[in-house]
């Protein structure tokens, strides 16, 4: 229409309400379609979609009563739990921005996230409450909402914390909060290390997330008939948004475990007749190697997913032999893509082994050179995407947002090669990101921590192949003359300053680092020189 007839503000608001399609709306609609269907299983807790929706609404009203409203940030520091699942959707219904925090971080690292995000409150599990308290003190945050999730059998919250179960199971209002949440209102603030020493806050909206859910559903072969176990951390957008939230959208059943213990995972698959499972290659390998693998009835399993790194070809072959009825998908992406970008489908697993597949349904992917010109098939270029999946940008960081989205494409920082028919292989990381055991580790962050150790002249951190971790964090250190630096001292220093998964698995002392004429350290050479470290141990 060439002429747009303006509506009154009242009519425009009514139209916006009628058209609202936010992440919080997905649960309400699923509960209306399948009220009695099993939604969530977690320990002794079993909730239908109607019960899950009511629990979410009570939690949302409790948060609102404590002063949290649209646009406020709530940090969540916890292992997987049904309370985590409830809070993920309660915040979405309120328009409160959820800030999931990696539970492996130390107090100082958490304090930075609390400060940078401007969090108005934090929910923590009981075992992590001391770390959360230290982080709050370090951040200088004396007030705010403080919730407590009892996962370790503790009967009462620590001093200064409220029991989240009272928010959820109490006599509070179970009706819809009725908050207007727009397509591009931020709902998640996901912190990712990138290459800098400080993490970046990635802002995701309903448009980003729901567009990604659709791609996962169609290209990932997902349906409401699935029964899925969620054992990888839900603070990661992979488990939370490629899998759990999609299951809620579709009306599938979610079985939540606190972690990926192989024996528990295998027993759960048998007991709950699980049909669908996501694990990084390291966890799939641990399942295959566990003595219970051949003792448990895994015949219900039909769909398997992996990500974070390519699956070794020999492991793919073994999985095909030992789980012949399981179709496999490889998901590749970044937090900034909410996170899915490309998919390698079941029929492509062996013929394109090691590939990240092709662009997902709602994604356009290409490779560019340093001037952002497209590169031809077979040549290395930076992987860039266009998609509604893409984030709103980095919170409070105009410069990094402008750089990442220059030219109207999201620049992933990964380097890849693409075939003429669009199959992508990731060959290196422009950002020197190390992916170890399903976790992202920024080499520069580890380097800066090691530089704090007196006696370190130079250090280079990179990943090397590892049979279990896929990549192992490795540090090559040049000691200062006469410093008397030892490998043991470097390891001890790392234990004091870095989260466990960020600490170098291997430390090598050398006289000098290889460099190009401009003085840049040649990490590619270091990777090649030390590639066999893991094999020698």
Look at residue 279 in the predicted model and tell me its pLDDT. 93
Tokens of 139: 């951040």
Looking at every residue in the chain, the average pLDDT score rounds to 93
Return d(Cα 255, Cα 277) in angstroms, integer: 10
Instruction: Read off the tokens for 127.
Output: 């075992």
- Do residues 163 and 157 lie in contact, with contact meaning Cβ atoms separated by under 8 Å? yes
User: In the Cβ-directed half-sphere of 178, how many Cα atoms lie within 13 Å?
Assistant: 5
Nearest-CA neighbor of 305 among 217, 209, 381, 220? 220
Pick from 393, 297, 284, 390: nearest CA to 338: 390
Mean local confidence (pLDDT), 376-401: 96
The burial class, CB within 10 Å (0-12 / 13-18 / 19+), for 375 is: middle
Q: What is the mean pLDDT of residues 160-176?
A: 93
**DSSP state at residue 185:** S
pLDDT, residue 193, reads 64
The span from the CA of 213 to the CA of 338, in Å, is 9
- Provide the b/e sequence for 332-359 (b: ≥16 CB within 10 Å): bbbbbbbbbbbbbbeebbeebbebbbbb
Q: Does the pLDDT value for residue 195 go beyond 60?
A: no
Nearest to 75 by CA among 64, 65, 88: 88
Name the DSSP letter for residue 357.
B
pLDDT at 145 over 80: yes
Q: Please, are residues 327 and 303 in contact by the beta-carbon 8 Å criterion?
A: yes
Helix (H, G, I), strand (E, B) or coil at 433: strand
Q: pLDDT value at position 428? A: 66
Which token pair is 106? 């130390």
Residue 372 predicted with pLDDT over 80: yes
- pLDDT at position 231 over 90: yes
Question: How many CA atoms does the CB half-sphere of 20 hold within 13 Å?
Answer: 22
Mean pLDDT lowest for which of 45-49, 176-180, 310-314, 402-406? 310-314
The per-residue pLDDT for 198 is 79
57-68 exposure pattern, b = at least 16 Cβ within 10 A, e = fewer: bbbbbbbbebeb
DSSP string spanning 130-179? HHHHHHHHHHT---SEEEEE--SS-SSPPTT-EEHHHHHHSS---S----
Instruction: Say what the pLDDT of residue 311 is.
Output: 84
> Which SS3 state, helix, strand or coil, does residue 70 take?
coil
Give the bridge partners for 204, in sequence order: 188
pLDDT at 262: 95
> Which tokens go with 521?
């350290």
pLDDT of residue 525: 87
- Choice among 82-86, 210-214, 282-286 with the minimum mean pLDDT: 282-286
First to last CA, the chain: 70
Domains of the chain listed by start with CATH number: 53-181 (3.40.50.980), 433-529 (3.30.300.30)
C-alpha dihedral, 384 to 385 to 386 to 389, nearest 10°:
-140
Q: In this predicted structure, what is the pLDDT of residue 41?
A: 98
Between 254 and 452, whose confidence is greater? 254
Task: Answer with the residue of higher pLDDT: 285 or 96.
Answer: 96
Which of 39-53, 96-110, 142-156, 380-394 is predicted with the least confidence, judged by mean pLDDT?
Answer: 142-156
**Average pLDDT score over residue span 433-440:** 83
The bridge status of strand 97-101 relative to strand 121-125 is unpaired
Lowest-confidence pick of 50-64, 65-79, 416-430: 416-430
The Cα 450–Cα 461 span in angstroms is 10
What per-residue confidence (pLDDT) applies to 194? 45
By residue count, the chain amounts to 537
Instruction: Specify the pLDDT at position 196.
Output: 46
From CA 311, how far away is CA 281, in angstroms rounded? 6
Question: What pLDDT does 520 receive?
Answer: 64
**Is pLDDT at 330 greater than 90 in this prediction?**
yes
Using CB atoms within 10 Å of the CB of residue 115, give its burial: 0 to 12 exposed, 13 to 18 middle, 19+ buried: middle
Residue 135 has a pLDDT of: 97
Centre a 10 Å sphere on the Cβ of residue 392 and count the other Cβ atoms it contains. Answer: 19
Residue 518 has pLDDT above 60, yes or no: no
Digit-coded pLDDT (tens) for 475-514: 999 998 898 999 999 999 999 999 999 999 999 999 988 8
Average pLDDT over residues 272-283: 93
pLDDT at 201 over 80: yes
Burial of 168 per CB tally in 10 Å (0-12, 13-18, 19+): buried
Q: How far is CA 529 from CA 463, 490, 532, in A?
A: 12, 20, 8
How much is the pLDDT for 519? Answer: 53
Name, in order, each residue with C-beta under 8 angstroms of 112's C-beta and a sequence gap of 6 or more. 139, 198, 199
Give the pLDDT mean for 22-26: 98
Rounded-to-integer distance, Cα 339 and Cα 242, Å? 7
Which band of pLDDT confidence, cut at 50, 70 and 90, is reported for residue 313? confident
- Of the pLDDT bands very low, low, confident and very high (cuts 50, 70, 90), residue 537 is low
Q: Provide the 3-class DSSP secondary structure of residue 32.
A: helix
More confidently predicted of 156 and 198: 156
pLDDT of amino acid 431: 62
């Amino acid at each position: 229409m060439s002429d747009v007839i303006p509506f009154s503000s009242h009519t425009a608001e009514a139209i916006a309400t009628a058209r609202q399609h936010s992440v919080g709306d997905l649960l309400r609609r699923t509960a209306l379609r399948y009220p009695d269907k099993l939604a969530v299983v977690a320990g002794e807790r079993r909730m239908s979609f109607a019960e899950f929706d009511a629990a979410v609404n009570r939690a949302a009203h409790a948060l609102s009563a404590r002063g949290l409203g649209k646009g406020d940030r709530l940090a969540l520091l916890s292992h997987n739990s049904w309370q985590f699942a409830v809070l993920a959707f309660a915040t979405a219904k309120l328009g409160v921005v959820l800030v999931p925090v990696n539970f492996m971080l130390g107090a100082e690292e958490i304090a930075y996230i609390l400060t940078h995000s401007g969090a108005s409150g934090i929910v923590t599990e009981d075992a992590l409450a001391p770390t959360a308290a230290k982080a709050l003190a370090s951040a200088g945050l004396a007030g705010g909402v403080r919730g407590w999730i009892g996962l370790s059998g503790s009967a009462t919250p620590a001093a200064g914390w409220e029991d989240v179960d009272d928010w959820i199971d109490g006599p509070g209002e179970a009706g819809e909060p009725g908050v207007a949440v727009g397509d591009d209102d931020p709902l998640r603030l996901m912190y990712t290390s990138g290459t800098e020493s400080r993490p970046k806050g990635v802002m995701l909206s309903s448009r980003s997330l729901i567009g990604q859910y659709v791609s996962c559903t169609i290209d990932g072969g997902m349906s409401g008939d699935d029964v899925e176990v969620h054992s990888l951390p839900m603070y990661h957008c992979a488990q939370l948004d490629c899998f759990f939230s999609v299951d809620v959208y579709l009306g599938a059943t979610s079985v939540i475990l606190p972690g990926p213990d192989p024996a528990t995972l295998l027993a759960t698959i048998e007991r709950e007749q699980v049909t669908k499972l996501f694990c990084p290659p390291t966890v799939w390998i641990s399942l295959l190697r566990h003595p219970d693998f051949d003792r448990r009835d895994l015949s219900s399993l039909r769909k398997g997913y992996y990500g974070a790194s390519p699956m070794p070809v020999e492991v793919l072959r073994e999985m095909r032999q030992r789980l012949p009825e399981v179709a496999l998908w490889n998901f590749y992406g970044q937090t900034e893509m909410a996170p899915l970008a490309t998919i390698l489908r079941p029929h492509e697993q062996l013929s394109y082994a090691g590939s990240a597949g092709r662009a997902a349904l709602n994604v356009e992917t290409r490779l560019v050179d340093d001037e952002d010109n497209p590169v031809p098939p077979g040549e290395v270029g930076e992987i860039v995407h266009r998609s509604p999946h893409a984030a709103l940008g980095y919170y409070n960081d105009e410069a990094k947002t402008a750089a990442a989205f220059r030219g109207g494409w999201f620049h992933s920082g990964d380097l890849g090669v693409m075939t003429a028919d669009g199959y992508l292989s990731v060959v290196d990381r422009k950002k020197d990101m190390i992916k170890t055991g399903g976790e992202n580790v920024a080499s520069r962050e580890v380097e800066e921590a090691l530089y704090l150790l007196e006696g370190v002249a130079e250090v280079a951190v990179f990943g090397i192949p590892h049979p279990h971790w896929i990549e192992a964090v490795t540090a090559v250190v040049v000691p200062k003359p006469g410093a008397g630096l030892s490998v043991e001292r470097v390891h001890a220093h790392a234990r004091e300053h870095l989260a466990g998964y960020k600490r170098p698995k291997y430390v090598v002392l050398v006289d000098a680092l290889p460099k190009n004429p401009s003085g840049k350290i040649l990490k590619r050479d270091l990777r090649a020189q030390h590639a066999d470290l893991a094999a020698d141990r």
